[in-house]
A and B are shown apart, each in its own frame.
Chain A
Amino acid sequence: MKTRFLKALALTTALATITVPALPQTTTPPPQTFGTTIYLDYSFWATKEGPITSNALNNKFAFRRAYFTYENKISADLKFRFRFDAENARVLTSTTGSTNEQLKPFMKHLYLDWAGLLPNSSLKIGMTETLAFKVAEDRWGYRSVAKTLVDGYKDVTGADIRTSSADIGINLTGAISKELRYGAMVMNGEGYSRPELNKYKKFGGFLQFVPLPGLNVWGYAEYEKVADGQNAKMYKVDVYFDMIPGLNVTGEWFTYDSDAKFNKVANADGTTSNAHFNIGGFSIFATYKITPDKLHVFARYDGYQPDSTNGAKEVSLVIAGVDWTPFHPSWKIQPNVWFYSYKDSAKKNDVIVNITAFLSF
Chain B
Amino acid sequence: MLYERFKKWIVAAELAMALVFTPILIGQGKKMIQIKGSDTMINLVQILAEEYMGKNPKATPIAVLGGGSGTGITALINGTTDIANHSRDLSPKETNQMWERGVKPRVFAIAVDGLSIIVNEKNPLNQLTMDQVGAIYRGDVKNWQAVGGPAQPISLYGRQSNSGTYAFLQEHVLKNKNYSPDVKEMNGNAQIIEGVAADAAAIGYAGVGYVVDKATGKPMKGLKILNIAKDAKAQGYSPTDKAAVDSGNYPISRALFQSTNGKPGADAAAFLQFILGPEGQKIVEREGFYPIGAKYIEANTKNLK
Contact between A26 and B181, CB atoms less than 8 A apart: yes
Stretch at the interface among A56-64, A161-169, A230-238, A239-247: A239-247
Query: Given A28-B182, A292-B79 in contact, is the A320-B100 Cβ separation under 8 Å?
Result: no
**B27 CB within 8 Å of chain A:** yes
User: Given the complex, which residues of B lie within 8 Å of A92, measured CB to CB?
Assistant: none
A337 to B98, CA, bound (A): 32
B134: min CB distance to chain A, Å: 15
**B246 CB within 8 Å of chain A:** no
Within 8 A of A (CB), among B1-40: 5, 8-9, 11-12, 15-17, 19-20, 22-24, 26-28, 30-32, 34
A28 to B81, CA, bound (A): 34
User: Given the complex, which residues of A lie within 8 Å of B96, measured CB to CB?
Assistant: 120, 175, 178, 181
Interface of A is mostly: strand
Category for how many chain A residues contact B: 35 or more
Query: Given A75-B178, A245-B262, A349-B8 in contact, is the A213-B99 Cβ separation under 8 Å?
Result: yes
Contact between A28 and B161, CB atoms less than 8 A apart: no
B26: min CB distance to chain A, Å: 8
A244 to B19, CA, bound (A): 22
Contact between B19 and A336, CB atoms less than 8 A apart: yes
A1 to B209, CA, bound (A): 70
Contact between B178 and A24, CB atoms less than 8 A apart: yes
Q: Residue on B with the closest CB to A297? A: B20
**B95 CB within 8 Å of chain A:** yes
Q: Residue on B with the closest CB to A298? A: B20
A94 to B12, CA, bound (A): 24
Contact between B27 and A291, CB atoms less than 8 A apart: yes
Contact between B181 and A322, CB atoms less than 8 A apart: no
A297 to B23, CA, bound (A): 8
A73 to B179, CA, bound (A): 13
Per-residue 0/1 for A166-198: is the Cβ within 8 Å of any B Cβ (1 yes, 0 no)? 000000000100110100000000000000000
User: Given the complex, which residues of B lie within 8 Å of A336, measured CB to CB?
Assistant: 19
A31 to B23, CA, bound (A): 39
Query: Given A245-B79, A289-B80, A322-B19 in contact, is the A295-B178 Cβ separation under 8 Å?
Result: no
B3: min CB distance to chain A, Å: 13
**B102 CB within 8 Å of chain A:** yes
A228: min CB distance to chain B, Å: 41
User: Given the complex, which residues of A lie within 8 Å of B261, measured CB to CB?
Assistant: 245
Query: Given A28-B184, A291-B30, A292-B82 in contact, is the A322-B23 Cβ separation under 8 Å?
Result: yes
Contact between B182 and A351, CB atoms less than 8 A apart: no
**A11 CB within 8 Å of chain B:** no
User: Given the complex, which residues of B lie within 8 Å of A25, measured CB to CB?
Assistant: 181
A1 to B20, CA, bound (A): 64
A295 to B79, CA, bound (A): 12
Contact check: which of B12, B23, B104 meets A295 at CB < 8 Å?
Answer: B23
User: Given the complex, which residues of B lie within 8 Å of A215, measured CB to CB?
Assistant: 102
User: Given the complex, which residues of B lie within 8 Å of A299, measured CB to CB?
Assistant: 16, 20
Contact between A290 and B23, CB atoms less than 8 A apart: yes
Contact between A242 and B101, CB atoms less than 8 A apart: yes
Contact between A289 and B182, CB atoms less than 8 A apart: no
Contact between B27 and A295, CB atoms less than 8 A apart: yes
Contact check: which of B22, B82, B102, B161 meets A31 at CB < 8 Å?
Answer: B161
Contact between A216 and B100, CB atoms less than 8 A apart: yes
User: Given the complex, which residues of A lie within 8 Å of B262, measured CB to CB?
Assistant: 245
**B57 CB within 8 Å of chain A:** no
B228: min CB distance to chain A, Å: 24
**A268 CB within 8 Å of chain B:** no
A246 to B80, CA, bound (A): 8
11 A-B contacts, Cβ less than 8 Å apart? Answer: A24-B178, A27-B182, A28-B183, A76-B161, A181-B96, A213-B98, A216-B100, A291-B30, A320-B20, A321-B19, A339-B16
Q: Which 3 A-B pairs have the closest CB atoms?
A: A214-B102, A290-B27, A320-B16
Residues on A facing B (Cβ under 8 Å): 24-28, 30-31, 46-47, 73, 75-76, 120, 175, 178-179, 181, 208, 210, 213-216, 242-246, 288-295, 297, 299, 318, 320-322, 324, 335-337, 339, 341, 348-349, 351, 353
